[in-house]
Structure 1
Amino acid sequence: MLCELRVKNLALIETLDLTFDHQEIDGLVVMTGETGAGKSIMLRAIDLLSGRRASAGWVRSGEECCEIEALFEVNRDHRSLMEKLRDGGYGEDKTIIIRRILSSSGRSRFYVNGSLATARMVAEISSDLLNMAGQHDQQKLLQTQQHLDFLDTVGEHWPGRLKLKKKFDQWRIKQQQLKGMRQREQEKEQRRDFLDYQVREIREAAPEAGEDELLAAEKKRLKNSQTLMALSQDSYMLLSHELMDGLVRLRQNTSQIATLDAGAAQLSEDISNYTFLAEDHINSIRAYKDSLESDPYRLDQINERLDLLSQFKRKYGPTLGDVILFAEEGEKELRQLENMDKEIAALEGEVATFEKEVMSLAAELSMQRRRTGDRLMADMEKELVSLAFDKPRFVVHREAVDQSPGSLRENGWDRVEFFFSANQGESPRPLAKIASGGELSRLMLAMKCLLAKKDMVETVIFDEVDAGIGGEAAEAVARKIQELAGHHQVFCITHLPQIAARGLLHFQVVKRVSNGRTQTTVEKLSNEMRIAELVRMLAGDSATEQTEAWAKELLANSKRSIHA
């Protein structure tokens, strides 16, 4: 349950610090105020703690960031919540602190029990902490695609639905694989002939990785063979005659010097080594010179080979390594084509197995939904009667669908739509066609009450669930919300005095101007202040003594019903 809420620099709120005493936690907390006072900002603050997207425009003008922080007390028996906290490394304490900082640049940081968290993790945790219902949820009732989701939530069918979806996705993947293989089967002969030609062309040429680079170097040498011969001959003559004769005399002279002066022995040895090294170079130059040849026929062969390799690289890959790899993959595909009949048969067997499993799961889910639908119709009509409908009829309409593989979807065969009739003698019709604003409000409240009885979420927040409601219906809605508050912590932003009077706690949202700036504040009302607020809600500026008496009576009756 929500124990504390702190807000700083959110829209018109400069600072807000709300604390709910332990004896006040379990019950109805109401918030009222003039239209435009900023009641929706309160809802936005709590909504921001649910990990949802935020706008930088929500940060109070002139501030760098806004902060929202809430402290919850939770039941350790809430296994789903405890597992999420443990898996996220946030501990398993019975208190949870969620904090969000939204910067003026639009970036957000989330914290759970002081540790950084992702928006997704915060959303998952907050879904187990609180349930919010507003006018947006009423509009969802008009969206037919939401009806199946609600039915599955009430019947706790989501585990089975997700299991079906997983198996359905696997079945679809296998179907696509089979479809592609059958298409390849039709094109098999043409593909096989083409692949065989390509692989044979490459294998007959037998290219080797790096061969083109070696041939390019040889081509360059052959094209410049005459120049290379001339240069190497000139170098050979220079080194073997003129330079070598001088080196021989130098070696002889230093040798004589060394015999006369022992200190020159190392010099003589080094020069002698240089001379022998020069002789080795002479032999190398001679061998290089003799290896050179001018072979126009070989040059033509190289050019032809390089042209062929270039064609291969254009057709099969940028390098000869890619060309060789293409041939290997082609050979592999040729083997697959040879075994395609066997692979198709095996894949058909897999598809049939998945189809059987999916059909079984879908049939089981449909049967469970049918039973849940029957219970939901009875439960909803009972709830609606308590919300001032005389002879309501609520029908879970099932579209007739052929239960064949072709009509199956990832969420099953069922096409569900809620039908409703508020008046005796009138046939139920789709919600979107007949439900008024006030009727939608009560329908949504009835559904939320049914859900609250099944889940472990302890805090429920209603935002103007009383829209379009008055008279006897307003009294009924007030009683229903108070009934829900008997086993949940309920926050209700309301315009109805009947609901406001039943609150265990009553806060008023007020918009004021201070130091030239507009601010929204939230004040906890005393008994006298509650009477004044109820008078305002009942009659506005036209209040009389009778209005005040009515407000006091509302408050007294509500207190008696709370303690009854």
Structure 2
Amino acid sequence: MLTNLSIKNYALIDDLNVSFPTGFVTITGETGAGKSILLGALSLVLGKRADLSSLRNKEQKCIVEAEFEIDNYGLQPFFKENDLDYDRQTILRREIHPSGKSRAFINDSPVTLDILSSLGNSLVDVHSQHQTLRLTENEFQLKVVDALANNDNLLDDYRQVLDGYKAAQRDLRSLLDFQSQAIKEHDYNSFLLHELQSTDLREGLQIELEEEYEQLSNVESILETLSQSDQLLNDEQLGILTRLEELKRAVQNISGYGNNFESLYGRIQSVMIELDDLSSEMDILRGGVEVNPQRLQEVNTQLQMLYDLQKKHQAANIQELIAIREALSEKVGKVENLEAQITSAQKAVEDKEAVLHKLAVSLRENRNAVIPKLKNMLQDKLSHLGMPSATFKIVLEASDNFRLNGRDDLIFQFSANKGSDYGELKKVASGGELSRIMLTIKSILAKYERLPTMIFDEIDTGVSGEISNTMANIMEQMSRSMQVFSITHLPQVASKGETQFKVFKEEFDGKTMTRIKKLTEDERVVELAEMLGGKNMSDSALAHAKQLLQVP
């Protein structure tokens, strides 16, 4: 419920702060006093687009704050989803700056206008004769039927399955799109993959081939060097090993004279062993080196193929070629296994569609069961609102599409007079009739679900005193379970309010300002008397006002 409204620098309002109680609140005032301004300011804080022309002082910002008690609205998920601090006393604030910049806040946290508007729609429902269009919308009409059918839990299940159904459809669509594109690329990718697979790509291969190529290309130089090295080591006269043998024998003669000489002899032996091993290894290497033009050509061909593949795939090394091969293998494999995936995805869609259809049928059955009850309730209530011949024809038809609220089209037709043809509400009902129908529907909804604060803006315009009295009774009954405001020019309606506020103008320092005040019992008597008989109140008007308020 709306507990407090603060407005600064908006239209004819300089600085206004008013607290509102629970129950049925009526707001009265002369035409042009500023009731629409008050409603306009409230609309701003509920998310309506800002208009710079609404600033009273063009050099100062406009601030509108509305405080709500939201404990019973179940809005915790909304606050969590939008990363906002939840507080049972929640404040919505809107600032309009002279520059034209607009800012919105929920509990002092900046929010977008869409978030503010979304929360505002859950907190306040403003209804006037000019805002009955929603009544003619299929979505709203189904909401009314669902409230009577107690379809809330079933709709939650349906929407959860619908989300899964749409996700399954997206997955299938993605696979089909991939298949369409992949088939075009499949042959080329298969060719590239075969090309890479025909080469034994493995880490270190390129280094091995390049080393082998260098050896085969320089075999003569290698053999010549190894032969020279063998001669240097093993020549009978001047070979290193021959001379080292002489050195060994010479040092052996003195090795017994001390540890130093024995160590020296040992080191010479070690060098001889190492050089002897080196000589043997060079013999082996020399035996393994041969002139092989055919192998040289093979290695050269393999290397060139590697270089060509790297250039073709813009790969820096063989590791990148291996990664490309694996990626191509995955792509080709996906296409080859795609039919099985598509079949599985199609089955998932069909399974979810079957569950969804079953839930949609249950929704339709529940709706059809309560439609006669809704028709009777509407017609009965409207007969007391000056529409005794009003009748409805409400029919459900199965739709081809799964929508957010089921698979039904609701045909909601109306006839105001006996013998008149049925037609769509928006085509055959007048503005006054639509207002009474909307009031009736809202009063029915109030019995079946928790509605936000309701503001009826002069919906009683143009109706008779007796009918306005009935409308006031309906609003008073609604206010027993919710907060209801009625902005009215009719004393019969104003008198039904538990609390009455008056909107008026006053001049201060040569400027006209809109004010609002809560009326005392005596002030209510005077206000109602003026509404009945004008400024020059007669005794009968005062007596009638007291009678309406049931005061002595």
TM-score by length of 2: 0.69
* Cα distance, 1:336–1:111 mapped onto 2, change above 3 Å: closer
Contact map agreement 2:392 2:414 (CA 8 A) in 1: yes
2:39 equivalent to 1:39: no
Q: State how far apart, in whole Å, the 2-side matches of 1:362 and 1:197 are.
A: 50
Letter in 2 for 1:469: V
Aligned counterpart, 1:435: 429
Which of 417, 420, 445 is the equivalent residue of 2:414?
Answer: 420
Tell me if structure 2 keeps the 8 A contact 1:49–1:98. Answer: no
Question: Aligned partners of 2:169, 2:48: CA distance in 1, in Å?
Answer: 37
SS at match of 1:523: strand
Match of residue 397, structure 1, among 385, 395, 398: 395
Quote the Cα distance in structure 2 between the aligned partners of 1:304 and 1:473: 96
Secondary structure at 1:387 match in 2: coil
Does residue 1:7 correspond to 2:7, yes or no?
Answer: yes
Aligned-residue offset at 1:176: 4.8
Q: Which residue of 2 aligns with 1:134?
A: 128
Residues 384-426 of structure 1: CA deviation (Å, up to 9, x unaligned) = 1232221321332323x36xxx544343221013222222333
2:328 aligned residue: 330
Q: Is the 8 A contact 2:413 2:423 kept in 1?
A: yes
1:37-76 mapped onto 2 (5 Å cutoff): 37-51=33-47, 53-73=49-69
SS in 1 for 2:403: coil
Indicate whether 1:342 and 2:340 are aligned.
yes
Aligned to 1:243: none
CA distance, structure 1, for counterparts of residue 481 and residue 332 of structure 2: 70
Q: Which has the larger radius of gyration?
A: 2
Asked whether the 8 Å contact 2:446–2:481 carries over to 1, the reply is: no
Note the C-alpha offset of 1:447.
1.3
Matched, 1:106 2:105: no
2:13 is aligned with 1:17: no
Shift of 1:440: 0.8
What's the secondary structure of 2:419's corresponding residue? Answer: coil
- Structure 1 residue 327: Cα displacement: 3.7
**Does residue 367 of structure 2 align to residue 356 of structure 1?**
no
Once residues 301 and 323 of structure 1 are traced to their aligned partners in structure 2, the CA distance between those partners, rounded to angstroms, is 14
CA distance in 1, matches of 2:102, 2:77: 28
Is 2:27 the counterpart of 1:30? yes
Change (3 A) 1:322 1:452: farther
Equivalent residues of 1:388, 1:476 under 8 A apart: no
Contact (CA 8 Å) 1:59, 1:102: kept in 2 or not? Answer: no
Q: Pick closer, same or farther for the CA change 1:424–1:521 going to 2, 3 Å.
A: same
2:28 is aligned with what amino acid? M
Question: CA-atom RMSD, angstroms?
Answer: 4.3
Return the offset for 1:72.
Answer: 4.5
Matched, 1:555 2:548: no
Question: Residue 190 of structure 2 contacts residue 332 of structure 2 at CA under 8 Å; is this kept in 1?
Answer: yes
Distance 2:367 2:444 in 1: 16
Instruction: Find out whether 1:523 has 2:521 as its counterpart.
Output: no
Q: Retained in 2: the 8 A contact 1:164–1:361?
A: yes
Report the CA distance between 1:53 and its aligned residue. 4.8
Question: Pairwise mapping of residues 460-539 of structure 1 onto structure 2 (< 5 A)?
Answer: 460-526=454-520, 530=524, 533-534=527-528, 537-538=531-532
CA distance in 2, matches of 1:369, 1:361: 12
Query: Kindly tell me: are residues 320 and 54 of structure 1, through their superposed partners in 2, closer, same or farther at Cα, counting changes over 3 Å?
Result: farther
Whole-angstrom CA distance in 1 between matches of 2:96 and 2:150: 39
Cα distance in 2, alignment partners of residues 120 and 364 from structure 1: 34
Aligned length: 458
Equivalence for 1:251: none
Specify the code of the residue in structure 1 equivalent to 2:40: R
Residues in 2 aligned to 1:412 and 1:158: alpha-carbon distance in whole angstroms: 12
Contact persistence 1:69–1:99 (CA under 8 A): yes
Q: Which residue of 2 aligns with 1:312?
A: 313
Q: How many Å apart are 1:196 and its aligned residue? A: 0.9
Cα separation, 2, equivalents of 1:347 and 1:46: 50
**Residue 491 of structure 1: how far off its partner (Å):** 1.3
In structure 2, give the amino acid aligned to 1:171. Y
SS, match of residue 145 in structure 2: helix
1:447 aligned to 2:441? yes
CA displacement, residues 429-451 of structure 1 (integer Å, 9 cap, x when unaligned): 21011100110110111111112
Is 1:383 matched up with 2:377?
Answer: no
For the Cα contact (< 8 Å) 2:495–2:548, is it kept in 1? yes
Deviation digits for residues 72-100 of structure 1 (CA, Å, limit 9, x no counterpart): 456x6x3725777799785776xx14141
Tell me if structure 2 keeps the 8 A contact 1:26–1:489.
yes
Written as runs of structure 1 = structure 2, the 5 A alignment for 1:211-226 is none
- Going from structure 1 to structure 2, the CA distance change for 1:81 and 1:55 (only over 3 Å counts) comes to same
Unaligned runs of 5+ in 1: 213-296
Equivalence for 1:374: 372
**CA displacement 1:54-84 (0-9 Å, x = unmatched):** 445544323543333344456x6x3725777
**Equivalent AA in structure 2 for residue 147 of structure 1:** Q
- In 2, Cα distance between the equivalents of 1:425 and 1:538? 38
Q: CA deviation at 1:554?
A: 4.4
AA at the equivalent of 1:494: T
- Alpha-carbon separation, structure 1, partners of 2:170 and 2:77: 37
